[in-house]
Amino acid sequence: MNILVVGRGGREHSIVMQLAKSKRVSQLFVAPGNGGIGEIATCVAIDELDIARLVDFAKSESIDLTIVGPENPLNAGIANRFQEEGLAIFAPTAEAALLEGSKSFAKEFMKKYQIPTAESATFTKVDDAKNYILAKGAPIVIKADGLAAGKGVVVAETEVQALQAVDEMLVSKTFADAGATIVIEECLEGKEFSLMAFVHEGNVYPMIPARDHKRAYDNDQGPNTGGMGAYAPVPDISGETLVYTYRAILQKTAEGLMNEGRPFTGILYAGLMMTEDGPKVIEFNTRFGDPETQVVLPLLKNDLDQVLLDVLDGKNPNLDWEESFCSGVVLASKGYPASYQKGIELPDFKTDGESFVVHAGTKQVDNIFQSDGGRVLLVGSKNTSLSGAIDNVYQVLAPVGKMDDFFYRKDIGKDS
């Protein structure tokens, strides 16, 4: 098989690492890729949103299957274009991807299909939004309606913070058009976890649960980020809870999208809060999560390409998982998620058979890896115990603690 992966981050590197294990994969292309991906696949200088060129490339290289990592090309309709050209693609159409592309759409959808989630309201006017906040009180959550690279969420502990977030989104246009509409919702209490699934229309095949750490600094302090670390599976989430989440959330969502004339093919991701009343949806993503993918896929024993083909063919992929844990910690550029420098030489990590490095914001210059983004890479490890996996990661990361150009959280997985 010739396979094309669209994207440039850690999620895509993790996908490529899994695909490279399969004997059926003859050529593996990534557009545009990153420094680390270039060591195991052919990077192609085509932007994720240049859909016309991606279509032409898939035709010219006889690509048998295209896999899309990031959300922006999904909402731009990459799956629609590929399908129109008769090209196989594992990704949702723009109509189905709206579940992530618009939080207000997702909220209305969940309300219609009685999928458990936080109480919310949608606003475009500043005064209406502020009056709602003052009526509800804090803590409260303010979200940009559109895509904001995982940063368009403010968990306001006080009314002052909440009112400021409204001004930033609706007045200062911090997130441009993505924040022209905002969703304000109750602040759910409990522990977060994520559950991803391979989906094709009404067929839903859940993966193992993961837990992501969104805040930039230790003890869940600082601004929200795209994710500073993760681990899988999640010991405090019971099998009974997972079955409920699969049936009451993932399966109902897939069936609801079919009912709406938006049949879903791809990865359905539910970001969840385990409340006293059971799991409730915080958000939906319509693609592999990042960094959850980096700790979930390493535990998959099946060949990923075969899983995707089976799902597309309407067959049960019979997912098989290692009875181990996987953890990962993100190394970020100093200043992230705000402004930061690029072009900083990366340390040379010493990994063993159970630990690994997944590149995200990196590039190669004269055979030297340099930083090229906010989240630079993830150091991961597998072990028969979660504590063992976590300890392994921090042993690999230890030398970086003395560097001024990068930082990482020291408490990933300590909440378990």
Residue 416's pLDDT is what?
58
Residues 68, 74 contacting (CB under 8 angstroms): yes
Q: Closest by alpha carbon to 273, among 186, 343, 206?
A: 186
Cα 247–Cα 249–Cα 255 angle in degrees, nearest 5 = 80
pLDDT at 400: 76
CATH topology for the 325-407 domain? Glycinamide Ribonucleotide Synthetase; Chain A, domain 4 (3.90.600)
Place of tokens 């490279």: 20
Report CA-CA distances (Å) from 212 to 2, 209, 232, 273, 323. 32, 10, 9, 12, 20
Answer yes or no: pTM beyond 0.85.
yes
- Give the right CATH number for 119-186 from 3.40.50.300, 1.20.140.10, 3.30.1490.20, 1.10.3720.10: 3.30.1490.20
Report whether pLDDT(101) > 90: yes
Amino acid (1-letter code) at residue 57:
F
Query: How much is the average pLDDT of 184-206?
Result: 96
Q: Which fold has domain 2-93?
A: Rossmann fold (3.40.50)
Q: What is the mean pLDDT of residues 94-116?
A: 96
Side-chain half-sphere CA neighbours of 326 within 13 A: 25
pLDDT at 151 over 80: no
Which two three-digit tokens encode residue 243? Answer: 């079955």
Query: Distance between CA 342 and CA 268 in Å, rounded?
Result: 32
CB 53 within 8 A of CB 27: no
- For residue 254, what are the contacts with CB-CB under 8 A and spacing of at least 6? 199, 201, 202, 203, 204, 264, 268
pLDDT: is 145 or 400 the higher one?
Answer: 145
- Across the beta sheet with 265-275, the strand order is 203-206, 191-200, 265-275, 278-285
DSSP 284-349: EESS--TTHHHHHGGGB-S-HHHHHHHHHTT------B-SSEEEEEEEEETTTTS-----PBPP--
Tokens 């590149």 correspond to what residue?
A: 359
The answer to whether 409 and 217 are in contact (CB under 8 A) is yes
The type of residue at 52 is: A
Q: Is the pLDDT of residue 390 over 70?
A: yes
The mean per-residue pLDDT over the stretch 5-13 comes to 97
Query: Residues spanned by CATH 3.40.50.20 within the chain?
Result: 2-93
- pLDDT at site 401: 66
Residue range 245-267, pLDDT digits in tens: 999 999 999 999 999 999 999 99
pLDDT of residue 176: 86
Structure tokens at 111: 């309300």
Per-residue pLDDT at 146: 87
At 177, the pLDDT band (50, 70, 90 cuts) reads: confident
User: What pLDDT, on the 0 to 100 scale, is given for residue 325?
Assistant: 98
CATH code at 191-312 = 3.30.470.20
How many angstroms separate the most distant Cα atoms in the chain? 60
Distance from C-alpha of 117 to C-alpha of 267, rounded to nearest angstrom: 20
- The larger pLDDT score, comparing residue 47 to residue 149, is at 47
> Looking at the predicted structure, is the pLDDT value of residue 195 above 80?
yes
- Please answer whether residues 397 and 380 qualify as being in contact, where contact means their C-beta atoms are separated by less than 8 angstroms: no
Q: Give the contacts of 303 (CB within 8 A, at least 6 positions apart).
A: 18, 21, 22, 24
Listed in order, the ranges of the chain carrying CATH 3.30.1490.20 are 119-186
- Is the pLDDT reported for residue 404 higher than 90? no
Our separate counts of H helices and E strands in the chain read 13, 23
Lookup: tokens for 23: 């004997």
What's the pLDDT score for residue 119?
Answer: 94
Q: Of 42, 37, 43, nearest to 9 (Cα)? A: 37
What are the φ/ψ torsions at residue 2 (nearest 5 degrees)?
Answer: -100, 125
Which residues contact residue 64 at a Cβ distance below 8 angstroms, ignoring those fewer than 6 apart?
A: 1, 2, 3, 88
Chain-centroid distance of CA 372 in Å reads 19
The CATH 3.90.600.10 domain(s) of the chain lie at 325-407
Question: Which letter, b or e, does each residue of 133-167 get, where b requires 16 or more Cβ atoms within 10 Å of its Cβ?
Answer: beebebbbbbbbbbbbebbbbbbbeebebbbebbe
Q: What is the mean pLDDT of residues 7-21?
A: 97
